[in-house]
């Protein structure tokens, strides 16, 4: 019972983060869940709950969806996944994690300190970010940062950023769930624990989404950079 209560608390805060920024729930949930659950069960739960959170945020931001922004990320990620899968055996995962961690921490600290103006990138960079996202996800299962960094450079509003990332993660998440289900990679306890903890996820995500509407663009970007620093630091953890 205590473990279930702790899982609910963890997923509540993970939902708050996802609702607030449009990503980052796994950053909160997985390190804490693995203290009491098997890593495979923790990851499977985060994948399912991540989809629930993404759907809630997507419904809240549906009027801000712009497929001209989402499409380059989606289309670029498909060859990226294939390229990453092909190179999986030939890439040093430890080196790639350390490199990505350095990039995330350096990029985020720079933006927090100097607050440079957005570059307003063309859609070409969206395809490139999608490709990098798919490739990195295939190798180390943490492909989100390239698309998040791209979104911070475009000059989009807070809601446009959240909507674009949410739309992209919605479809990539559905694909991932399909792959896991087809491969029998969901542990037996996954569904029962998912159903018991989903109310906490729903509550946290709704509250985070409501609070997000009350913060300005600058505060939102600062939260994004802080989460990216957290992601970068986690990359240095031993595998």
Helix%, strand%, coil% for the chain, nearest 5: 80, 0, 20
- For tokens 């950053």, the residue is 27
C-alpha span between 22 and 164 (Å, rounded): 9
Helix (H) or strand (E) holding 173: helix 158-182
Q: Which two tokens stand for residue 198?
A: 């989903």
* CA-to-CA dists, residue 62 to 130, 160, 190, angstroms: 21, 10, 29
End-to-end CA distance of the chain: 30
Assess contact for 205 and 86: CB atoms under 8 A.
no
How is residue 124 written in tokens? 């070409």
Is 52 within 8 Å of 201 (Cβ atoms)? yes
CA distance 226 to 78: 28
pLDDT in tens, the chain (239 residues): 888 999 999 999 999 999 999 998 988 898 899 888 888 888 889 889 999 999 999 999 989 999 999 999 999 998 988 888 777 777 787 888 888 899 999 999 999 998 888 888 888 999 999 999 988 887 766 778 999 999 999 989 999 999 999 999 998 888 888 877 887 878 888 989 999 999 999 999 999 999 998 999 999 999 999 999 999 998 886 55
Contact 219, 73 (CB under 8 A): no
């Amino acid at each position: 019972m205590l473990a279930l209560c702790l899982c609910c608390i963890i997923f509540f805060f993970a939902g708050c983060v996802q609702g607030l920024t449009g990503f980052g729930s796994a950053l909160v949930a997985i390190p804490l869940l693995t203290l009491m659950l098997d890593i495979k069960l923790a990851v499977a739960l985060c994948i399912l709950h991540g989809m629930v959170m993404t759907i809630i945020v997507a419904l809240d931001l549906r009027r801000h969806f712009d497929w001209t922004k989402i499409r380059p990320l989606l289309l670029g990620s498909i060859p990226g996944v294939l390229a990453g899968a092909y190179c999986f055996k030939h890439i040093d995962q430890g080196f790639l994690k350390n490199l990505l961690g350095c990039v995330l921490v350096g990029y985020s600290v720079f933006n927090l300190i100097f607050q440079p103006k957005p570059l307003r990138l063309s859609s070409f960079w969206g395809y490139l970010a999608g490709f990098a996202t798919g490739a990195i996800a295939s190798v180390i299962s943490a492909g989100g940062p390239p698309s998040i960094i791209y979104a911070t450079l475009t000059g989009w509003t807070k809601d446009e950023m959240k909507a674009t990332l949410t739309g992209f993660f919605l479809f990539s998440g559905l694909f991932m769930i399909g792959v896991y289900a087809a491969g029998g990679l969901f542990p037996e306890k996954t569904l029962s624990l998912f159903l018991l903890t989903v109310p906490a996820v729903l509550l946290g995500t709704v509250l985070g989404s409501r609070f997000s509407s009350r913060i300005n663009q600058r505060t939102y970007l600062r939260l994004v950079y802080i989460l990216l620093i957290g992601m970068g630091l986690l990359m240095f953890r031993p595998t």
